[in-house]
Amino acid sequence: MTIMRTLLLAAAVPVVFAQTQTQPAGSPFPSSTYENATDPRAQAGAVSGQTSPPKYPSPWGEGLGDWDAAYAQAHDFVSQLTLTEKVNLTTGVGWQSEKCVGNTGSIPRLGFKALCMQDSPLGVRFADFVSAFPAGGTIAATWDRKLFYQRGYGMGSEHKEKGIDAQLGPVVGPLGRQAAGGRNWEGFSPDPVLAGIACAETVKGIQDAGVMSTTKHYILNEQEHFRQGAPPASLGLNALSSNVDDVTMHELYLWPFADAVRAGTVSIMCSYNQINNSQACQNSYTQNYLLKNELGFQGFIMSDWAATHSGVSSALAGLDQTMPGDIAFNSGTTYFGTNLTIAVLNGTVPQWRLDDMAVRIIAAWYYVDRPGNQVADAPNFSSWTSDTDGFRHYYQSLDYQRVNDHIDVRGNHGAEIRAQAAAGTVLLKNTGALPLSGKEQLTSVFGEDAAENPLGPNGCSDRGCDEGTLAMGWGSGTANFPYLVTPLEAIKAEVLSNGGSFESVTDNYAYSTIAALGRRTAQVGGACIAFGNADAGEGYITVDNNTGDRNNLTIWGDFDLLVANLTAQCNNTIVVLHTVGPVITNSFVDNPNVTAIIWAGIPGQESGNAITDILFGKVNPGGKLPFTIGSSRGEYGTEILYEPNNGNNSPQDNFEEGIFIDYRAFDKLGETPVFEFGLGLSYTTFSYSDLGVQAHSAPAYTAPSGNTGPAPTYGTVSNITSSYVFPASIDRIWNYIYPYLNSTSLSVSSGDPAYGINYTWPAGSYDSSSQPYVAAGGAPGGNPRLYDVLFTVTATITNTGDVVGDEVAQLYVNLGGADDAKVVLRNFDRLTIQPGATATFSADITRRDLSNWDSASQNWFISSATKTIFVGSSSRKLPLTTTLDLSGIITGPGSGGNGTAPVYPSSSASGYSSSATSSGDGSSSASTSVGSSVSVSSASSPTGYSSSFTTSAKPSGPAGYSHSSPPAYSPTGYRA
């Protein structure tokens, strides 16, 4: 649609724009052709090239699923709002302009407080008297739904008590494509089912505590290098483009986001990277089509910090809220704010789109009952100082007041964290050394990783160093430790309580001292326990030359040498690893003097107590690896892109391996893992028997019927521009982002020399008419029929040992197609079984679990290939197997979906037609005619979103208060 904006500047600006365009013919996300693709499906696509098709209009929220009550409340609320009040909800006030890492404007007239958005996925960031929970990867290693939920609820409660509205977590992007990915530890697992279940339970926990969860980073944010372009910034590269095909998108990366949406996550953060060469936060395909249409997401999309690259383009492509509000940190400029007000007044953003943004945000707020979960004087802490008093507007050095109430919100979470970390500890090797009896005459501990950082547990800003024991990675995914129990002190306390003798050497390079203590320990039949780690984090911090992503998979601190030196003397060496992901263990794994190996993950504040519980047998290990440990990084089949590969243009990261990451890659490539995905030993043993399969009747897989209503609007927007000029009653804060106009002239107010030029917006982006649901959609999480249970699998697990123990029984499926993975995880359960006793493992298989994605029909289908199921204790120990009887299930792509067998009586659920239909988006090849509009950059956007609200020089703080600099961070980035 071409908009002659100069014509719209007259006083009678038509506010509700004529909205009669129809959506362009639908097009599947291209199955990009990669010459060297190792997954055939990534090669044999209908459309070549890595582009992201335009998908408009942006779906308006309707209150689908269980969102109806929240939407009814939101409609009432938003109907009362003025234009600038609505805009205030969509825009952060600027980096460090208020106390949280992200803050919206407020609506004082209605008593609505500014929203506070705060990291992190493992606890409250930048606050005191909070808990440091185990990281995502460690809780994933528990494979325990109850603990996923418990941790989520604990974190949510602490956020609530600090007065936070949205916790910026959990993380399922990165999923963990590359073993060395810097932020994998913030997420759960490279397996989408484990990640999806862990994410869903975490979301429920956080939100049941009365706080909004922000599942992030959407999507394909799989590495830190080039996530925002450079480092180094001087290269001027655009953000890396993760190029993926449609099948891989659905069967792997989108999967856990679907689980998050289905679990009710009210907010999703779009990421820094591009997807198929369109920025994530203005990618109409991933936001409008996949997330809001196919997955039926009813909440709001929040940008990652400074990941917004345009105004109108982003709004039309589905972005609902820009954070922290300013274009670049502290620039004083914004793509939304004033410019969104202008865009609505001149018609470039239709009122219905702004209303949808506001409704989604307010519905999210009601959905988790934020009104019923307020605390006094929220937020009661400041991210920017730990002093009691400080500036409320930190960047501006304004409003010096009490900013930290130092409220202790930890409750009994310390005990829970200890149990969670122990439950997520994975025993990888044990030749009988463990558990320790407690009667050892001498117990010796080795390695810097056992001890405390000499600067204290919070000594390095955002944990941006690797000093002392590793209990958290680095970056924004951190929280301050309230204390950190080190392995050294906990083991020592245990040994002393048993009357034993204890010594340690925590200098990794004190070779002769290590050797001497090792020899002495061995001579008295004692135990040598060696601690090692490998760290990673967010790319704005570089630690030991690792710019977020790890440079390699080795264990840090020359640990291999330490172990070689120690094992030459000590024949009972127990290795404990605190690592952010897989590490290479080749040098010691088969050494007979290494009598045990434990992966203790990233355990949080109770690290020492948790590992002591395991070492001394107070807790029987039951954790299982959430990733594969191989013998070389090459075996993983994926690699970090460390060097730019596209000149000065966006680095191109082609996901040529398709769905084959982690254990799927090892299986496909015929590699033998050192420790496979799902592996974890116990102090007891288990046997598997009696596989059973029960088929269920389920409704047919049908497409949702009917259409949405037309886009609603709430309240009317006056086009008298003087109503929106900065109110004289408000003291304007320097560099703060506001929704108000600077002038009654929209052109002057924009401050953009290009204001008013002709521009063609993507076809369909103004269409407010009712839209068809897509076949795979219709409800939060996608078509509800995908979650129908088709089979239940049972097995008997017997504890064949002498002690009570936990076993995580795992269900895998082979989907039977030539291009399918050998096995994919589909379900699991953690069972506590008494010695000699049996337990029944029972796991459902849903329609989605048996389906493949068909790009042409844009729908899931069950192929006619034989479906084989496996049950066992790891991805490679699968003693029980059988095939599923698919008789009667309609199979094949484009067949109208995977309808259900006549043997399963079909009943049509309300709102669903009796037969599946092809996607309303059709299967024609991609129309890229307006594709360029999808990724309009700020530079080329005529929306003029360079408007500045910088009106005065930065004031200095009151006498006696210097404006202290934020903690140092790398020149390549910032600390958001």
Nearer to ligand NOJ, 93 or 316 (CB): 93
Alpha-carbon span 624 to 427, nearest angstrom: 8
CB of residue 185 to ligand NOJ, shortest distance in Å: 13
CB of residue 780 to ligand NOJ, shortest distance in Å: 23
Please give the C-alpha separations between residue 285 and each of 153, 291, 473, 932, in angstroms, as whole numbers.
33, 8, 32, 13
**Contact between residue 954 and residue 395 where contact means Cβ atoms under 8 Å apart:** no
CB of residue 223 to ligand NOJ, shortest distance in Å: 12
Of the residues 409, 541, 576, 976, which one makes contact with ligand NOJ according to CB under 6 A: 976
**Contact between residue 779 and residue 65 where contact means Cβ atoms under 8 Å apart:** yes
Nearer to ligand NOJ, 101 or 316 (CB): 101
Nearer to ligand NOJ, 303 or 569 (CB): 303
Nearer to ligand NOJ, 304 or 656 (CB): 304
Nearer to ligand NOJ, 221 or 900 (CB): 221
Site string for ligand NOJ, 252-291 (x = CB under 6 A): ----------------------------------------
With b meaning 16 or more CB within 10 Å and e meaning fewer, what string describes 589-614?
Answer: bebebbbbbbbbbbbbbbbbbbbbbb
Residue 99: CB partners within 8 Å, gap ≥ 6?
A: 116, 379, 381, 382, 383, 384, 392, 394, 403
Q: Tokens 């992201």 map to which residue?
A: 52
Of the residues 85, 191, 201, 304, which one makes contact with ligand NOJ according to CB under 6 A: 304
Q: Count of CB atoms within 10 A of residue 415's CB?
A: 11
Backbone angles phi, psi at 645, to 5 degrees: -130, 15
CB of residue 472 to ligand NOJ, shortest distance in Å: 14
Nearer to ligand NOJ, 304 or 829 (CB): 304
Judged by CB under 6 A, does residue 93 bind ligand NOJ? no
Alpha-carbon span 893 to 778, nearest angstrom: 20
Q: Which residues pair with 827 in a beta bridge?
A: 811
Nearer to ligand NOJ, 160 or 826 (CB): 160
Nearer to ligand NOJ, 8 or 117 (CB): 117
Judged by CB under 6 A, does residue 829 bind ligand NOJ? no
Nearer to ligand NOJ, 166 or 878 (CB): 166
**Contact between residue 135 and residue 124 where contact means Cβ atoms under 8 Å apart:** no
Judged by CB under 6 A, does residue 305 bind ligand NOJ? yes
Question: What share of residues in the chain are helix, strand, coil (percent, to 5)?
Answer: 25, 20, 60
Nearer to ligand NOJ, 119 or 245 (CB): 119
Of the residues 321, 373, 383, 476, which one makes contact with ligand NOJ according to CB under 6 A: 476
Both tokens assigned to 789: 């249970």
**Contact between residue 674 and residue 582 where contact means Cβ atoms under 8 Å apart:** no
Q: Is 429 helix (H, G, I), strand (E, B) or coil?
A: strand
Judged by CB under 6 A, does residue 216 bind ligand NOJ? yes
Judged by CB under 6 A, does residue 119 bind ligand NOJ? yes
CB of residue 167 to ligand NOJ, shortest distance in Å: 10
From 440, 424, 371, 398, select the one nearest 143 (Cα to Cα). 424
Nearer to ligand NOJ, 64 or 976 (CB): 976
Under DSSP, the state recorded for 449 is: G
CA atoms within 13 A on the CB side of 246: 29
CB of residue 281 to ligand NOJ, shortest distance in Å: 12
Alpha-carbon span 102 to 782, nearest angstrom: 30
Please give the C-alpha separations between residue 94 and each of 98, 246, 480, 735, in angstroms, as whole numbers.
8, 36, 23, 8
Alpha-carbon span 640 to 151, nearest angstrom: 31
Alpha-carbon span 159 to 154, nearest angstrom: 9
Nearer to ligand NOJ, 540 or 688 (CB): 540
Task: Tell me which residues are annotated as active site.
Answer: 304
Nearer to ligand NOJ, 271 or 288 (CB): 271
**Contact between residue 137 and residue 601 where contact means Cβ atoms under 8 Å apart:** yes
Under DSSP, the state recorded for 24 is: P
Both tokens assigned to 969: 């961070």
Chain residue whose CB lies nearest ligand NOJ: 976
Q: Is 59 helix (H, G, I), strand (E, B) or coil?
A: coil
Alpha-carbon span 640 to 326, nearest angstrom: 30
Judged by CB under 6 A, does residue 168 bind ligand NOJ? yes
CB of residue 119 to ligand NOJ, shortest distance in Å: 5
Q: Tokens 């990941």 map to which residue?
A: 307
Alpha-carbon span 750 to 756, nearest angstrom: 10
CB of residue 34 to ligand NOJ, shortest distance in Å: 27
Tell the burial category of 670 from Cβ atoms under 10 Å away from its Cβ (0-12, 13-18, 19+).
exposed
Compute how many residues bind ligand NOJ; rule: CB under 6 A: 9
Backbone angles phi, psi at 249, to 5 degrees: -55, -45
Both tokens assigned to 504: 């340690």
**Contact between residue 275 and residue 286 where contact means Cβ atoms under 8 Å apart:** yes
From 289, 223, 217, select the one nearest 256 (Cα to Cα). 217
Q: Is the peptide bond before 780 cis (omega within 30 degrees of 0)?
A: no
Under DSSP, the state recorded for 841 is: E
Angle (CA) 836 837 839, round 5°: 145
Q: What is the DSSP string of 273-304?
A: SEETTEEGGG-HIIIIIIIIIIS---SEEEE-
CB of residue 118 to ligand NOJ, shortest distance in Å: 8
Alpha-carbon span 627 to 184, nearest angstrom: 10
Residue ranges in contact with ligand NOJ by CB under 6 A: 101, 119, 168, 216-217, 304-305, 476, 976
